[in-house]
Structure 1
Amino acid sequence: MKRIAAAALVAVGMAMSVVPAASAAEGTELTAVRTGLHAGFDRVVFDFNGPRPSVTEYRATSLEHCASGKPITAKGDEFLVVSMRSANAHNYPGPRAFDTPGLAKVKSVTNTCDFEGHLDFAIGYAPKGLSYKITFLDNPTRVVVDINNS
């Protein structure tokens, strides 16, 4: 009987040690997505509640969901996909896809991936080939994407 109780305690202890590690692997959490029109550029800001995620980006002419591979429809002639690692939007209460009628060139913002610490958003714009700049701000953590609109 003592062996069963000891084995049960070990199993519970192992399970409890795994859960926090899995949560930590998901990284910083998205808290807001904001857009704004500025002189010369449209801005998209991703706010986070923790440390800065690592960010890469690429251009695409079509979108698909990262897990299923199913196509995603969004407005824009081209998309800047902003890929944020060690980040997630699991508890993000805001919209995951929306149009941006108040901006000059940015037409949409669409979440294309939120899986195992990999968070992607596609920023749709027109026409193709617009220049962009990605910067970071702290306190709170923000990933800032400026798309040239002039």
Structure 2
Amino acid sequence: MVAPLACLSVLLAGCGTAQQTAGTLPRQTSSATATPGTPTSTTEVDVERPGMEPAVVTAVRYAAHATYDRLVVDLKGDIPGYSVKWVDEFVQDGSGKPLGVHGGAYLQLTLFPANAHDDQGRPTWAGGPVYQAGLDNLTGVVRTGDFEGRVGIGLVLGRRAPFQVTEKGSPSRLVLDVAH
């Protein structure tokens, strides 16, 4: 009885955030996966959605789960196109300057069309650019950019591992699970 209650309290408490927490209702899986919540692929993902209004990133949250770490991108508007790619290092969008974060592997999530600022240029995703996650595999989250309709979010990992991307609605969220 204690174990199920502990699990429930962890789920209800949410996750850490780059301002921190997480959600759970699946809508569509965009990478090869076996079961929701079980990352099984290291294949890069590219989803195109041309001609839509830019989504606005309102928060990025993260949390550890039993076998994976979860990153949730909260969005205002529809889920935009996105790519998830392995990179050698994180660089700032626009300038191309290295961000100087260290890890065992780097997974770059790029949303497009998207912004992380409002019409007056004020950030809609507070803090950063580097957030210390300290989870089992996800050690840090990096805001790599908000430039020309593209928002970059870097996942600093302890090691390269399978991942899966899931789209969730009401409200719009993009979820990226990475195995431990």
Using the size of structure 2 for normalisation, the TM-score is 0.65
Over the aligned positions, Cα root-mean-square deviation in angstroms equals 1.7
In the alignment, the residues of structure 2 paired with residue 119 and residue 93 of structure 1 have an alpha-carbon distance, to the nearest angstrom, of 11
Q: After the TM superposition, which residues 1-150 of structure 1 pair with which residues of structure 2 at under 5 Å, given as runs?
A: 27-90=54-117, 91-96=123-128, 97-101=130-134, 103-127=135-159, 129-149=160-180
CA deviations 1:84-127 (Å, max 9, x no partner) are 001110131422320112x1010110011211211110101012
In the alignment, the residues of structure 1 paired with residue 53 and residue 147 of structure 2 have an alpha-carbon distance, to the nearest angstrom, of 8
CA offset at residue 74 of structure 1?
A: 2.0
- The gaps in structure 2 that reach 5 residues or longer are 1-50, 118-122
User: 2:83–2:109: 8 Å Cα contact kept in structure 1?
Assistant: yes
CA offset at residue 68 of structure 1?
A: 0.6
Residues 1:136 and 1:77: Cα distance change in structure 2 (over 3 Å):
same
In the alignment, the residues of structure 2 paired with residue 25 and residue 41 of structure 1 have an alpha-carbon distance, to the nearest angstrom, of 32
1:92 alignment partner, SS class: coil
Q: Give the corresponding residue for 2:32.
A: none
CA deviations 1:11-43 (Å, max 9, x no partner) are xxxxxxxxxxxxx98711111111111110000
Structure 1 moving runs of 4+ over 2 Å = none
Higher strand share: 1
Using the size of structure 1 for normalisation, the TM-score is 0.77
43-52 or 72-81, larger mean C-alpha shift? 72-81
Which has the higher Rg, Structure 1 or Structure 2?
1
